[in-house]
Structure 1
Amino acid sequence: MSRTYAGMGAIVTEPAPSPTPAIELDSVVKEYRARGEIVRAVKGVTFAIAEGEFFSLLGPSGCGKTTTMRMIAGFEEPSSGVIRLHGEDVTGVPPNKRDVNMVFQSYALFPHMDVWENVAFGLRRKKVPEPEIRRRVGEMLEIVNLTGMEKRRPREMSGGQQQRVALARALVNRPRALLLDEPLGALDLKLRQAMQIELKRIQRDVGVTFVYVTHDQNEALTMSDRIAVMNEGVVEQLAPPREIYERPATAFVADFIGTSNLLAGTVERVADGVAVIPREYGRVLVAGAACAAGDRLTVTVRPEKITISTEEPAGEVSAVRGTVAEVVYLGTYSSYAVGLADGTEVTVFQQNAHDNTATAERGDAVWLSWRPQHSYAIGS
């Protein structure tokens, strides 16, 4: 909240002090020695996570995301840099002295204990009074929709139910942040999708900061307030899901998040804020790119933004001609692979609306078109 006061005959408004982030990493580096060589798993990562945020670390295997989380938890120590939890430097502080809990993919439930005792375990170790244990465990089981299952053992429960027990056990201790290392990886696709929505609901209900590690783009896009996309130990982009998807900062992000088409070319001219890139059998128009004639651009366009037609499109749109190499029916939409004259292959997603009639068949000559604002110039 800002403060306003009178001073020297003027009204002065002080800006509100910025709230302390829940978690901060400042130039964090992690190095390992392997076969006599130094391997840098994390290379100077810096970011801040707000209180109550659902924050995801997303990237392929070996990108450094799990190592980063383990350093936040205290299971690994950074080779250099600083980690702060709620403004306090915890670099070198052991895991049991940090006000965070962690949920692993394996859940690590006690098989000989029922649900109630699994959830109450941490409270009993802290010697919390029994009435308080009953109240807090009951509240937490209600939040994760496990009321009535208190006496079940883990082996008597589904994977999704076990995952909720693990969440309840971690959250009942009231940590200020919860770290989740690919907790849905062992579930089948349909249950995993259902649990994504459930996890977001639970996080919203309890208001705890969640830091979520995953290699699954859909998980990150579905649940996160912000996503840090990691590659080879660095954060390539940190932004909300929509920005990550619609405006990828690098070719890696564009290719890793969903499906994207990358087209490169030299700008012929710029008119009214729209760059024109001529291509064999067509043109690519890019709106809002900071460029000039002669610049080399790499442009990304998402498959669902492209219209496929057997006739040349009219109007101020990107338009390229190619040949359909493959058509795959996927239920709600069809996927077209279209080869351009220069050897580039473009993927197009077309919604299957009222019938199953394909717009084009394999071997057909087609035109692909999209609006200039759907071409986005990216970095390397």
Structure 2
Amino acid sequence: MAETDHHATASTPVRPPADEHDEPAGPDGTAAAPAIELDGVVKEFHARGETVVAVRGLDLAIPQGEFFSLLGPSGCGKTTTMRMVAGFEEPTAGRVLLHGRDVTGVPPNRRDVNMVFQSYALFPHMNVFENVAFGLRRKRVPKDEIRSRVGAMLEIVDLAGRERRRPAELSGGQQQRVALARALVNRPRALLLDEPLGALDLKLRQAMQVELKRIQREVGVTFVYVTHDQGEALTMSDRIAVMNDGRIEQLGTPREIYEHPATRFVAGFIGTSNLLAGEVAEVSSGRAVIAHGPDDRVLVPLRPGLPVSAGDRLELTVRPEKIGIGRDRPAEALCGVRGTVSEVVYLGTSTNYNVITAAGSDMVVFTQNATSADDVAARGDTVWLSWDPRHSYAIAATSGAQGALT
């Protein structure tokens, strides 16, 4: 992870007094302007006579001090969105505002943000201290202040005592923290991070997720994090924008997005999700009864006002860890489908069951191995899958209407 050579920095401290960093409330006592705001942003690229729309009318507001993630597959527009915030790309239409100031057309070096990337790009001939101090020396900050600010930042990123080491003498995670310190020591009002953990192995990547969140909380700077890794986004973010085809499919907290996906895309992209389809047999008291198979009955809560009636076809999603599996259908189960186990995978802490329902749907069930190492069922067994209706979430298969838990 490395700071961009453009050195788009601010002149405000990392954790300053309120009157130096925080946007003042308006004269009527209203809240401060968002740290980052996108207003109807569109980005088009033109090549070989074709127009490719990378971002489609994006509206977004990110408050000061939030850890915000742009999550989505390759080509969804998330990196292009970040580059427009940084000033490396200009929107075809719409505005980019930083703390209420329109910076559309303003060059990167005049925006109060830094951007860091997956490659560290540390200077190999400089030690840790000099790498972190590089931007401050370019700005001719006094030596005493450089020493103080670099020392404080190395404490925050847990590198105190390693000031004289060269990058080649550091681990990948330590190099990443040097790059992060170099970006933060310039006191940006927002830090933009583009896939910064991709070069690390799994164990180090997981450790750095926790470290990044700790550092962000400690310095209080707005972080905007671009990733295609759902685990990273769920672990670190205060809020997540799930992007697809240049649009935001859903915006919410990690829990909201995981527990209550707003679209079929989000349900399939975030974690493992089971999708079932069936015809609505009846609608009563804000719930739909879906007939999935001959003996199956699934109860799904609906958002008030959702236009669903008997005869409509709905899809529902339910997470694998919410589902119980057994030889018999529990008498109290309000949601139950019958199926045949097609595969059993033992993973140590849990066992995963793949089940083909009587209606032909593939479902996955996760069970914790907390009380017994014995399998609940074996491949080829007929089983019942059951869950609480609160864990169902309905998505209209044709009209795009969406159900929600109340």
The CA RMSD measured in Å over matched residues stands at 1.2
State how 1:318-357 maps to structure 2 within 5 Å. 318-357=335-374
Aligned to 2:148: 135
What's the TM-score once normalised by structure 1's chain length?
Answer: 0.94
Displacement of 1:314 in angstroms is 1.0
What is the letter of the counterpart of residue 110 of structure 1?
F
CA deviation vs aligned residue, 1:269-298 (integer Å, no higher than 9, x gap): 123333211121311111234333233221
Is 2:266 aligned against 1:266?
Answer: no
Is 2:330 aligned against 1:303?
Answer: no
Q: Distance in 1 between matches of 2:162 and 2:67?
A: 28
Aligned to 1:42: 55
SS in 2 for 1:112: coil
CA deviation vs aligned residue, 1:339-366 (integer Å, no higher than 9, x gap): 0122210111111113310000100000
What is the letter of the counterpart of residue 181 of structure 1?
D
SS in 1 for 2:226: strand
Displacement of 1:378 in angstroms is 2.6
Match 1:196 to one of 209, 213, 232: 209
Change (3 A) 1:55 1:218: same
Q: Distance in 1 between matches of 2:90 and 2:287?
A: 49
Aligned to 1:90: 103
Identify the range of structure 1 (35-44 vs 211-220) with the bigger mean alpha-carbon deviation: 35-44
Alpha carbons 2:279, 2:292 under 8 Å: kept? no
| Equivalent residues, number | 367
Alpha carbons 2:241, 2:248 under 8 Å: kept? yes
Aligned to 1:71: 84
Where do 5+ consecutive residues of structure 2 fail to align? 1-26, 401-406
Alpha carbons 1:104, 1:181 under 8 Å: kept? yes
What is the letter of the counterpart of residue 17 of structure 1?
T
SS in 2 for 1:170: helix
State how 1:141-160 maps to structure 2 within 5 Å. 141-160=154-173
What is the letter of the counterpart of residue 320 of structure 1?
V
SS in 2 for 1:61: coil
Aligned to 1:104: 117
Match 1:283 to one of 283, 294, 297: 297
Match 1:378 to one of 371, 395, 399: 395
Alpha carbons 2:55, 2:246 under 8 Å: kept? yes
CA deviation vs aligned residue, 1:307-348 (integer Å, no higher than 9, x gap): 000012212421000000001111211111100122210111
Q: Distance in 2 between matches of 1:320 and 1:218?
A: 29
Q: Distance in 1 between matches of 2:284 and 2:264?
A: 26
Q: Distance in 1 between matches of 2:292 and 2:110?
A: 60
Alpha carbons 1:261, 1:347 under 8 Å: kept? yes
Q: Distance in 1 between matches of 2:253 and 2:292?
A: 33
Alpha carbons 2:276, 2:292 under 8 Å: kept? no
Alpha carbons 1:288, 1:373 under 8 Å: kept? no
Q: Distance in 2 between matches of 1:153 and 1:237?
A: 43
Is 2:94 aligned against 1:81?
Answer: yes
Displacement of 1:15 in angstroms is 7.0
What is the letter of the counterpart of residue 176 of structure 1?
R
Alpha carbons 2:43, 2:56 under 8 Å: kept? yes
Displacement of 1:266 in angstroms is 1.8
Q: Distance in 2 between matches of 1:234 and 1:272?
A: 34
Q: Distance in 2 between matches of 1:328 and 1:242?
A: 27
SS in 1 for 2:122: coil
Q: Distance in 2 between matches of 1:66 and 1:235?
A: 13
Q: Distance in 2 between matches of 1:236 and 1:53?
A: 20
Aligned to 1:220: 233
Alpha carbons 2:195, 2:226 under 8 Å: kept? yes
SS in 2 for 1:107: coil
CA deviation vs aligned residue, 1:58-107 (integer Å, no higher than 9, x gap): 00011110111011001111111100001111111110010100111002
What is the letter of the counterpart of residue 314 of structure 1?
A
Q: Distance in 1 between matches of 2:175 and 2:372?
A: 42
SS in 1 for 2:297: strand
The sequence identity of aligned pairs, in percent, is 72
Aligned to 2:264: 251
Q: Distance in 1 between matches of 2:334 and 2:28?
A: 45
Match 2:184 to one of 148, 171, 174: 171
SS in 2 for 1:267: strand
Alpha carbons 2:277, 2:316 under 8 Å: kept? yes
Change (3 A) 1:316 1:322: closer
Aligned to 1:8: none
Q: Distance in 2 between matches of 1:158 and 1:317?
A: 53
